[in-house]
Amino acid sequence: MPESAPIPLSHELNALVMALRRILPQEAVLAGAEEMRPYECDGLTAYRKLPGVVCLPDNTRQVQEILRLCTQMQVPVVVRGAGTGLSGGALPLSHGVLVSLARFTRILEIDPDNRTARVECGVRNLAISEAAAPYGLYYAPDPSSQIACTIGGNVAENAGGVHCLKYGLTVHNVLGVKVLTMDGELMELGGHTLDAPGYDLLALMHGSEGLLSVIVEVTVKLLPKPERAQVVLAAFDSVAKAGAAVTEIIGAGIIPSGMEMMDNLALLAAEDYAHAGYPVDAAALLLCELDGVNEEVSELIFQVRELLLKTGAHEVRTTRDEAERLKFWAGRKSAFPAVGRLAPDYYCMDGTIPRKRLPEVLTRIAELSQQYSLRVANVFHAGDGNLHPLILYDANQPGELKRAEEFGAKILELCLEVGGTITGEHGVGVEKLNQMCAQFTPTELAQFHEIKYAFDPKGLLNPGKAVPTLQRCAEHGAMHVHHGNLPFPELERF
């Protein structure tokens, strides 16, 4: 629902803009419709809204003043990093302030001996590894959006990446954050040590989607670059076989540094876009990366090749050099934009399932695709059971967006049904509020609201995102598979 006309500045909004201009430089406050346009949505472009006003602070003190002012004037605040989020977490509020932290780009310290980097929240994910590279170190989590997304946004979403199978998610790679609570108080959670006294509030910040605090600084753990990394590519004539191969490899006690799968539509698109050299006849493509000590990698590559052939791969290729390895990953990492070229619009889903249910879930997704007459390309972090079905649609065709959303909702229900979750790494945002009603009971949701209350008693930080109101869930009662006569008894025991 794009808004074309500029929103009229209400009386309060006017006062707010004036007050903000008193605490920030002129160019750091945007209130005109056209200059605010770039902030009207994040990566979930189907939802758009112009904010009341945009602020572009460039230091913590300025953010503190914005938050204090907003607390005083009871104005809601939405924080934005790079706006690559895929669940509408950074969707503005028309009566609120959008605080962009894009100017927080200073790398404050690289400490090679302690293997840490202390950076401002707006530093791009990839920029950290670039800054650490001269020391032979890098930051492990590598979301496909890593050229653009910010480390603050990564913490807020607990972002993952293709290397998270072995090296963990953002939460496993951050040692400390400095945050501001809504009343402008600066707090340090964690720091430069492996643990901190008191509750694990550092963990709680991960995936909190900008509802609990504004993260202004992040200290991440750096790792030594592995001596060797090599990718084995395997082509299969069925997705089920590729799924079985994943289970075999993990079952053999091997933890690859990445294990990614693409179905035919996704790999064709990626090949067309990035010319990675993928076998275009494959029904499913598996990329399995092994890294570590030279000798160990040799051993593992051999083992993995055997397992892949045993599970029915009709083509197995090992990268010959670093250039080819990077090319293989470039194809995978560009899968979203590549698929994006197949249709005017695509809707990226993100659910996690127990690995072993992969074949059955894929079959059901294919059936749904027929039922909704919408094509779907599948990209997965297969090792983690994290699915990204990309539903292709055309928003200009009446009813297609709605159909795509319904299709997406069905996929998430399916993930829950098989004992999984409605979001592995993209967050709930505004997108999956209804599915939250299915995954959690009203008392659990109430507890989430109370956690938010402990941080933000006035409910001014990113209100309305991530955790649905109980009222919304009551209205959305049909989704309550969790407590209905669910034919999946294991769900209750989770």
Partner 1 sequence: MDADHSAALLASVHEALAQKTSLQITGGGSKSFYGRQPAGKPLSVANHRGILRDEPGELVITARAGTPLAEIEAALGARQQMLAFEPPHFGPGATLGGTIACGLSGPRRPYAGAARDFVLGARIINGRGEILKFGGEVMKNVSGFDAARLMTGALGTLGILLDVSLKVLPRPQHEITLTQACTAQQALEIMTGLARLPLPLSAACFSADTLYLRLSGSESGVRAAQKKIGGEPLSNQEAFWLQVREHTHDFFQGKTLLWRLSLPPAAPLLHLPGQWFIDWGGAQRWLRNPLPADVIRATAVKLGGHAMLFRGGEHTGSVFHPLPPGLLALHKRLKNVFDPQGIFNPGRLYAEF
Ligand X SMILES: Cc1cc2nc3c(=O)[nH]c(=O)nc-3n(C[C@H](O)[C@H](O)[C@H](O)COP(=O)(O)OP(=O)(O)OC[C@H]3O[C@@H](n4cnc5c(N)ncnc54)[C@H](O)[C@@H]3O)c2cc1C
Nearer Cβ to ligand X (278/455): 455
Nearer Cβ to ligand X (83/226): 83
Measured in whole angstroms, how far is the alpha carbon of residue 185 from the centre of its chain? 27
Closest CA to 222 of 136, 148, 163: 136
The answer to whether the CB of 143 falls within 8 A of the CB of 313 is no
Q: Which of residues 92-111 bind ligand X (CB under 6 A)?
A: 101
Nearer Cβ to ligand X (215/368): 215
Those residues whose C-beta lies under 8 Å from the C-beta of residue 284, and which sit 6 or more positions away, are 235, 236, 238, 239, 241, 242, 243, 261, 262, 263, 264, 267
Does 159 participate in binding ligand X (rule CB under 6 A)? yes
Q: Which of residues 69-98 bind partner 1 (CB under 8 A)?
A: none
Residue 444 burial (CB count, 10 A):
12
Instruction: Kindly state the smallest distance separating residue 425's Cβ from ligand X, in Å.
Output: 3
Closest CA to 214 of 408, 57, 387: 57
Instruction: Kindly state the smallest distance separating residue 456's Cβ from partner 1, in Å.
Output: 10
Instruction: Kindly state the smallest distance separating residue 89's Cβ from partner 1, in Å.
Output: 10
Those residues whose C-beta lies under 8 Å from the C-beta of residue 59, and which sit 6 or more positions away, are 104
The H or E element that residue 326 is part of is: helix 322-333
- Going from the C-alpha of 431 to that of each of 108, 216, 311, 467, the distances in angstroms are 35, 25, 37, 11
Does 425 participate in binding ligand X (rule CB under 6 A)? yes
Does 144 participate in binding ligand X (rule CB under 6 A)? yes
Which of 157, 263, 271, 400 touches partner 1 by CB under 8 A?
Answer: 157
Does 489 participate in binding partner 1 (rule CB under 8 A)? no
Which of 55, 56, 67, 82 touches ligand X by CB under 6 A?
Answer: 82
Rounded Cα gap, residues 340 and 147, in angstroms: 18
Quick check: helix, strand or coil at residue 469? coil
Which of 63, 69, 86, 382 touches ligand X by CB under 6 A?
Answer: 86
Does 490 participate in binding partner 1 (rule CB under 8 A)? yes
Does 420 participate in binding ligand X (rule CB under 6 A)? no
32 contact choice in ligand X, partner 1, none (CB below 5 to 8 Å, kind-dependent) = none
Per CB under 8 A, which region of 32-40, 218-226, 335-343, 370-378 contacts partner 1? 218-226
Between 239-251 and 358-371, two packed helices, what is the crossing angle to 10 degrees?
Answer: 160
Does 203 participate in binding partner 1 (rule CB under 8 A)? yes
Those residues whose C-beta lies under 8 Å from the C-beta of residue 264, and which sit 6 or more positions away, are 282, 283, 284
- Strand ranges in 56-183 using DSSP code E only, listed in sequence order: 77-80, 97-100, 107-111, 116-120, 137-138, 174-180
Site track for partner 1 across 102-131, x = CB under 8 A: ---------xxxxxx---------------
Closest CA to 378 of 480, 286, 479: 286
Which of 12, 130, 195, 306 touches partner 1 by CB under 8 A?
Answer: 195
Instruction: Kindly state the smallest distance separating residue 81's Cβ from ligand X, in Å.
Output: 2
Nearer Cβ to partner 1 (118/124): 118
Per CB under 6 A, which region of 4-12, 19-27, 78-86, 232-240 contacts ligand X? 78-86
Q: Which of residues 292-351 bind partner 1 (CB under 8 A)?
A: 292-300
The answer to whether the CB of 375 falls within 8 A of the CB of 328 is no
Residue type, 161: G
Closest CA to 442 of 413, 485, 478, 471: 471
Q: Two tokens at 190?
A: 């964690």
Q: Which of residues 162-181 bind partner 1 (CB under 8 A)?
A: 164-165, 168-169, 171-172, 181
Instruction: Kindly state the smallest distance separating residue 384's Cβ from partner 1, in Å.
Output: 4
Q: Which of residues 373-432 bind partner 1 (CB under 8 A)?
A: 381, 384-386, 419-428, 432
Which of 209, 289, 384, 417 touches ligand X by CB under 6 A?
Answer: 209
Does 260 participate in binding ligand X (rule CB under 6 A)? no
Does 216 participate in binding partner 1 (rule CB under 8 A)? no
Does 199 participate in binding partner 1 (rule CB under 8 A)? yes
DSSP strand pairing (386-393 vs 345-348): antiparallel
Does 241 participate in binding partner 1 (rule CB under 8 A)? no
Task: Note the residues at the interface with ligand X (CB under 6 A).
Answer: 42-43, 78-86, 89-90, 101, 121, 143-145, 149-150, 152-154, 156-157, 159-161, 209-210, 214-215, 336-337, 425-426, 462
